[in-house]
C-alpha cells in the first residue's frame, strides 16, 4: 500500500476522462488501498484515481465520525435536492487553498462497492458536499470551476504564491 505522488493543479490529467471501473478486481482493490494511504498522508478526507494519475472512476472518502473509509466505484449522483448549502472545499491537488462552494444540500449517489455490489447512498451536509466534489473530479470538473470568476482568480493567485514558496524552499 504505497503512498502515491499526487498530481498538482493544473496538471492536464486532472481534467482528463476517467475510465469506468466496471467489475472491481484485485487491481482495483490495490488502487483503493493506495488511495486511502495517499489521502491520509496528504492529509485529506477524499481522493480519486485521477488525483494520482490512475484514470479510473474510483473515489475514497474517510470523514470524521466514519467507522471505516468508504470506497465508491463508478459513482454518480442520481438525485440532488433543490435546496443548496455552502461548504469550504479544497483539493489534495492544491494543498493549502480553500474556498466556499455552493452545492445541493442533499444527494443520492449510486455506485459499486469493492465486491461489485450495486449500492445507493443518501447523503446530506458535509458528506453530500464531499461526494459531489469527488464525483465532479471524476467528471473532469476541478473544484475551482465551481467558484465565480473573481473568487477563482483569487484562489489561483494564492496557489501560485504557495507554489513559488515551495519551489524556493526545495
Residues forming the active site: 134
- d(CA 92, CA 3) in angstroms, rounded, equals 13
**Do the Cβ atoms of 137 and 145 come closer than 8 Å?**
no
Instruction: Considering only CA atoms, give the Rg of the chain.
Output: 16
Please state the length of the chain: 170
Q: Where are the alpha helices (DSSP H) in 24-111?
A: 26-41
All three cell numbers of 144: 475551482
Amino acid at each position: 500500500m504505497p503512498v502515491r505522488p499526487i498530481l498538482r493543479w493544473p496538471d492536464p490529467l486532472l481534467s482528463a476522462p476517467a475510465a469506468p471501473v466496471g467489475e472491481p478486481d484485485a487491481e482495483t482493490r490495490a488502487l483503493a488501498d493506495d488511495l486511502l494511504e495517499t489521502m491520509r498522508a496528504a492529509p485529506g478526507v477524499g481522493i480519486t484515481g485521477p488525483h494520482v494519475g490512475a484514470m479510473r472512476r474510483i473515489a475514497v472518502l474517510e470523514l470524521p465520525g466514519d467507522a471505516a473509509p468508504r470506497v465508491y466505484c463508478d459513482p454518480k449522483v442520481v438525485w440532488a435536492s433543490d435546496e443548496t448549502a455552502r461548504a469550504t472545499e479544497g483539493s489534495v491537488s492544491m494543498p493549502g487553498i480553500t474556498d466556499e462552494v455552493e452545492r445541493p444540500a442533499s444527494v443520492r449517489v449510486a455506485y459499486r462497492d469493492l465486491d461489485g455490489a450495486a449500492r445507493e447512498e443518501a447523503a446530506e451536509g458535509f458528506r453530500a458536499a464531499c461526494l459531489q466534489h469527488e464525483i465532479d473530479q471524476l467528471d473532469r470538473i476541478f473544484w475551482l470551476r465551481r467558484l465565480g470568476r473573481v473568487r477563482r482568480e483569487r484562489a489561483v493567485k494564492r496557489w501560485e504564491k504557495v507554489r513559488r514558496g515551495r519551489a524556493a524552499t526545495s
